[in-house]
Structure 1
Amino acid sequence: MTLEKISINEIMDEASLVCSLNVIKDSFTTVAREFKLTEENCPSNPAFINLENLMTMKNKGIAMFGLFEKNNQIGFVAVEKADDSCYLERLAVLPDYRHKGYGKLLMDFVFNYAKAQGAKKVSIGIIDENSVLKDWYEIYGFRETGLKKYEHLPFTVCFMEKAVESK
């Protein structure tokens, strides 16, 4: 990974949302397959997101950012500010770019963004059964704050958070 070719830019227009949509769908499809999630049993999974969903998020004031290698978008993250927290949503890195430090770059960006927004913590909800992802977040410093089984979801949701450090 050469950092001079990497940038993180805010997603502002519809064309950028369309590119982001493809990154999100392609990234989350691997997880959907692994956990046998379908549009029928888990329609809210990001693997099944559409442009209207993304536009609704944008219109709600959720900040969206793309990770680019040169001019090619390879990652995405959305951050929703609420009171003294930021909620991390749709963190995605295309499968061919995983395990190369890009997810950590996005996380570092999110924590700098959260700090600039005055947030005290960053929270996330993930599939509890996804031990690889859960371990990754724990290595980054997130701690489990609760588990919840929703009737409409075929998995348990693990809530995690990490304090935003003031430096």
Structure 2
Amino acid sequence: MADLVLFNSEQLFPKKITIQRLVDVDLEIAAQVIRESFATVADDFDLTIDNCPTNGAFTQAKHLKIDLEKGNQLFGLYLGKKMIGFFELVYNEGNQATLEKVAIIPPERGKKYGEFILDKVREIAKNDHIERIDIGIIKENIRLKEWYQRNGYQIVRSQNFAHLPFEVLYMQLNLNNEVSSG
């Protein structure tokens, strides 16, 4: 099942880009991709394993295994046979999903792979009759906030948590019209 290709976009990219649903054997590489991707954010916002142990920069395969066992959907973005990106969908009650751990390794950023992920998230959600996708980011991460806004996400609210050294900005993408017309 790890070899099941869900999406293929040879037309958009010179090398074959695929998104694959991940299984146990993929989790170590996925954790490495997440750590490498989130390390830049951890550096930018002075996040450490002591002040923010749940940040993606500190993700281990065992954490992803727990997510998989909960029924969360984990996906890898592959450039050829190399995983260069990751995202996770958590399905909640009320036709709502949370998008987590969106990651592209730094050498592959700026090549539209993130937009490719968001397009595929939208497609997966529509196929699963999801009406809304939520995401939480670091409020002070202006570049990321603006990127999500350019991709259709709206700011909902922000909240402080005692266990986090930053304020969380919640954003969402409403798919109601797309789901009902699709």
Q: TM-score, normalised to structure 2's length?
A: 0.88
CA gap 1:148/1:21 in 2 versus in 1, 3 angstroms: same
Specify the code of the residue in structure 1 equivalent to 2:28.
V
Unaligned runs of 5+ in 1: none
CA RMSD of aligned residues (A): 1.1
Q: How far has the Cα of 1:3 moved from its partner?
A: 5.5
Q: How far has the Cα of 1:26 moved from its partner?
A: 0.2
CA distance in 2, matches of 1:38, 1:123: 25
The secondary structure found in structure 1 opposite 2:134 is strand
Q: Does 1:68 align with 2:82?
A: no
Aligned length: 166
The structure with higher relative contact order (CA 8 Å, sep 6+) is: 1
Q: Does 1:21 align with 2:31?
A: yes
Please name the residue that 1:150 is paired with: 161
Specify the code of the residue in structure 1 equivalent to 2:61.
L
Please name the residue that 1:46 is paired with: 56
What are the residue-to-residue correspondences of 1:1-167 with 2, within 5 Å? 2=13, 5-14=16-25, 16-83=26-93, 84-164=95-175, 165-166=178-179, 167=182
CA distance in 1, matches of 2:138, 2:14: 30
The secondary structure found in structure 1 opposite 2:63 is helix
CA distance in 1, matches of 2:14, 2:127: 22
The secondary structure found in structure 2 opposite 1:38 is coil
The secondary structure found in structure 2 opposite 1:37 is coil
Unaligned runs of 5+ in 2: 1-11
Q: How far has the Cα of 1:50 moved from its partner?
A: 1.1
Specify the code of the residue in structure 1 equivalent to 2:47.
L
CA distance in 1, matches of 2:30, 2:157: 30
Specify the code of the residue in structure 1 equivalent to 2:132.
K
CA distance in 1, matches of 2:69, 2:150: 33
The secondary structure found in structure 2 opposite 1:42 is coil
**Identity, % of aligned positions:** 36
Q: How far has the Cα of 1:13 moved from its partner?
A: 2.6
Deviates more, 1:91-100 or 1:3-12: 3-12
